[in-house]
């Protein structure tokens, strides 16, 4: 199982990162060991600037190579919500040197995925809303329709390069409002007004 993450998929987040809008989806991967298996995240000691990025997550049902975007909906049936934890300080240093981002993105427990999945046909990404709260304060809120590249375009693009397999997860990108977490924080996400996760940072 692998995790594909899309970067810069919301214009407002690209702007807050002072990044150019991409002309094709930008993606990177996290390994299976990145999945947080608990409701507690122990703040990693290697970062002084650990950021949350709340994102809609799509689970692959079928093997797919060269997926045609018009048939991409046949390849997934469930959506969920997660956090793409990012060591922003390490990422900034990687970016400055033109180095890959793995140490900032792929570390253990860097991927929160709710255990709660919603049927994609009832909650199409074009209309589904999500919200993210840090200690009860709304920090991120968006609709799937705000994505620069739709999930169907993403699956078409990614599967040109990487074969997608059942169980693979696609993190579809984060809207604006990302920020640092601190020990003691409670991080909560809702998708279509349903509670999806609550994580404590220790
Ligand atoms: Mg992200």
Per-residue pLDDT reduced to its tens digit, 23-74: 999 999 999 999 999 999 999 999 999 999 999 999 999 999 999 999 999 9
Task: Tell how far the Cα of 122 is from the centroid of ligand 1, in angstroms.
Answer: 25
* Ligand 1: centre distance to CA 66 (Å): 24
Q: Which of 183, 194, 180, 198 is nearest to 38 (CA)?
A: 198
Residue 19 has what pLDDT? Answer: 87
Tell me what the pLDDT averaged over the chain comes to.
97
Residue 187 CA, ligand 1 centroid: distance in Å: 16
Q: What is the pLDDT of residue 155?
A: 98
Instruction: Report how far ligand 1's centroid is from the alpha carbon of 121 (Å).
Output: 24
- If you measure from the C-alpha of residue 39 to the centroid of ligand 1, how many angstroms do you get, rounded to a whole number? 20
Q: Convert the pLDDT of each residue in 126-183 to its tens digit.
A: 999 999 999 999 999 999 999 999 999 999 999 999 999 999 999 999 999 999 999 9
| Percent of the chain whose predicted confidence (pLDDT) is above 90 | 96
Q: Do residues 200 and 194 touch, judged by C-beta distance below 8 A?
A: no
Check residue 168 and give its pLDDT.
98
CATH superfamily of 3-201: Fumarylacetoacetase-like, C-terminal domain (3.90.850.10)
Q: What is the pLDDT of residue 14?
A: 86
**Which two structure tokens, joined as six digits, stand for 140?**
């991120």
pLDDT higher than 90, residue 198:
yes
Distance 173 CA to ligand 1 centre (A): 5
Task: Report the separation in Å between the CA atom of 109 and the middle of ligand 1, taken as the mean of its atom positions.
Answer: 14
Residue 18 has pLDDT above 90, yes or no: no
Q: How far is the CA of 56 from the centre of ligand 1 (A)?
A: 10
Phi, psi (deg, nearest 5) at residue 132: -135, 130
Tell me the CA–centroid distance for residue 140 and ligand 1, in Å. 13
Residue 166, token pair as written in the block: 């059942």
Domain chopping of the chain, boundaries: 3-201
């Amino acid at each position: 199982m692998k995790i594909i993450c899309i970067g810069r998929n919301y214009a407002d987040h690209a702007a807050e990162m002072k990044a150019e809008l991409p002309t094709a989806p930008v993606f990177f991967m996290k390994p299976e060991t990145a999945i947080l298996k608990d409701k507690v995240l122990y703040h990693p000691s290697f970062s002084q600037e650990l950021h949350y990025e709340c994102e809609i997550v799509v689970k692959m049902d079928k093997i797919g190579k060269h997926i045609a975007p018009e048939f991409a909906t046949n390849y997934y049936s469930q959506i969920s919500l997660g956090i793409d934890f990012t060591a922003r300080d390490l990422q900034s240093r990687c970016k400055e040197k033109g180095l890959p981002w793995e140490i900032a993105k792929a570390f253990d427990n860097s991927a929160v995925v709710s255990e709660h999945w919603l049927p994609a046909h009832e909650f199409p990404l074009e209309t589904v809303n999500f919200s993210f709260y840090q200690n009860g304060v709304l920090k991120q809120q968006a609709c799937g329709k705000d994505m620069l590249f739709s999930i169907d375009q993403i699956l078409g693009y990614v599967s040109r390069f990487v074969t997608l397999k059942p169980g693979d997860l696609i993190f579809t990108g984060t809207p604006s409002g990302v920020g640092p977490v601190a020990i003691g924080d409670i991080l909560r996400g809702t998708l279509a007004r349903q509670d999806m996760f609550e994580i404590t940072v220790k």
